[in-house]
Structure 1
């Protein structure tokens, strides 16, 4: 996807363009890849003016707005900032129809700016000291809900005024506590954190958190394929799933 994006933008890469597979089996990234390929070879297809126009609209959205946050989605500590920046970009996107439609979808997935996860930004090197100070201040002073929502509710028309600190509350301390390295560093100015063992340990652990759903999707697919197959005994089924998962790890290309 990145290579195709570079080519679409006029750059050069040493790569061959592969033949697309079956579209009905494509996940979202595959659909993006297919769109980029069609754009590159659009003069080879009998497309109508409307189809070409819509193709360019979608491709423009992909290369200017979608690819960069997608590539950084695996990074746990930058997840809050990435998600908030993407939602702001969608709200301000010049093609209002695409911006509104995609913004409404993204607004339903703001897990990492929730009260309990927004402080992942404290461990992100890209978060400036002033922002970290504001987050810590909110963690110490803004009272959180008794049962905080797992996903932040962000209005698309008001997102431009939101900062990471505006999502932090006293509930945000829970993540730091869960990292198990202590939270005394929160009482010290963020400019001095890099020299503290408790902060560096917590940062290392935070960076190893998995923030994409690929593992969950694979787990669901695995249990769906083998639920009721071979055995109906729950204990034996768990053993079966472990064997299958191990086999797939050892022989990823096996048919």
Structure 2
């Protein structure tokens, strides 16, 4: 896939100038400000920045003299971000494609979904402390999105209720360390945790993997906050990580200066809540495995050599690598 991005054609890019787009954007100024800040933040892969730039171009908030369209990258069914990037590019250059009205409408709808819902949630996904409340707020946003597109709203809600992993009783505790969550909600969470700790001396180590919410029950939690998901099982999280719960007895407004709270926050912030690291690892070994040999038998030998090398050199420091090999001694 290629795009004609010469000066004469980039003027044909269409984003919010399209009235049907502008009228359906939710808080465009707010999302633009957020995306502009994200441009200055380090991201694990270049496609994150590409997605941000495309969203800003779509919103016409990106400096025209700095617009650059990257060559198409890898496309994989498991990478929704790649689909988002392709959809934005195709929509921006839709006049250069022979698209049916149905296809144009489809790209129009998906781009609105990316801007209104997806991009901010995606960029915040690796932040563990934000995960529970973000999942809850995303569910609410998807339900409310029926005002923009009922079809997308219904489909996305029916799928997302099966992925509310971070709203289980233990992981909901992450929100205690969410700087964007109100102190009022944190106070209610702390009160619940303290009462449960006082009542239950021996707690069941089992915890439900995720809350089971049926489609017809979604409306019941739309007015709930993350403290709703705190239960007798929640205190287990603090015990698993040996977190001192004394800060729970103080006002959340003072937590930012509490040593125990800051130490606990560091633990939570260090938890991995996405599989992005695993995906990068798979991509790395796949590329490495293919660049040396394409012969399957030789690949097996290659992996054996790597395994043996790791056994001989378990430490990868410069000092260990400079030591003489066993057969040189």
Q: What's the TM-score bracket when you normalise by the shorter of the two chains? A: 0.7 to 0.9
How far 1:25 sits from its partner (Å)? Answer: 6.9
Provide the rounded CA distance (Å) in 2 between the counterparts of 1:32 and 1:64: 13
How far 1:175 sits from its partner (Å)? Answer: 2.2
SS at match of 2:274: coil
2:176 maps to what in 1?
Answer: 122
Does the CA-based 8 Å contact 1:179-1:206 persist in structure 2?
no
Does the CA-based 8 Å contact 1:77-1:121 persist in structure 2?
yes
2:255 maps to what in 1?
Answer: 193
Q: How does 1:51-70 map to 2 (within 5 A)?
A: 51-70=103-122
1:22/1:207 CA distance change after superposition, 3 Å: closer
1:57/1:25 CA distance change after superposition, 3 Å: closer
Q: How many residues align?
A: 244
How far 1:130 sits from its partner (Å)? Answer: 0.7
Give ranges in structure 1 of 5+ residues lacking alignment. 247-255
How far 1:186 sits from its partner (Å)? Answer: 1.6
Does the CA-based 8 Å contact 1:84-1:113 persist in structure 2?
yes
1:230 maps to what in 2?
Answer: 301
2:224 alignment partner, one of 149, 156, 162: 162
Provide the rounded CA distance (Å) in 1 between the counterparts of 2:140 and 2:309: 43
Does the CA-based 8 Å contact 1:177-1:183 persist in structure 2?
no
Q: Alpha-carbon deviations, 1:36-77, whole Å to 9, x = none?
A: 000100011111111111110111111111101111111111
How far 1:169 sits from its partner (Å)? Answer: 1.2
Give ranges in structure 2 of 5+ residues lacking alignment. 1-50, 290-295, 318-329
1:77 aligns with 2:126: no
Q: Alpha-carbon deviations, 1:115-169, whole Å to 9, x = none?
A: 1111111111111111001112232446887632122223453231221011111
Larger-Rg structure: 2
1:150 alignment partner, one of 202, 206, 209: 209
Does the CA-based 8 Å contact 1:115-1:168 persist in structure 2?
yes
SS at match of 2:212: coil
Does the CA-based 8 Å contact 2:170-2:234 persist in structure 1?
yes
1:5 aligns with 2:59: no
Does the CA-based 8 Å contact 2:74-2:82 persist in structure 1?
no
**Root mean square deviation, CA, Å:** 3.2
TM-score, scaled to structure 1: 0.82
TM-score, scaled to structure 2: 0.65
Tell which has more relative contact order, 1 or 2 (C-alpha 8 A, sep 6+).
1
How far 1:88 sits from its partner (Å)? Answer: 0.8
1:51/1:78 CA distance change after superposition, 3 Å: same
How far 1:222 sits from its partner (Å)? Answer: 7.4
1:41 alignment partner, one of 93, 109, 129: 93
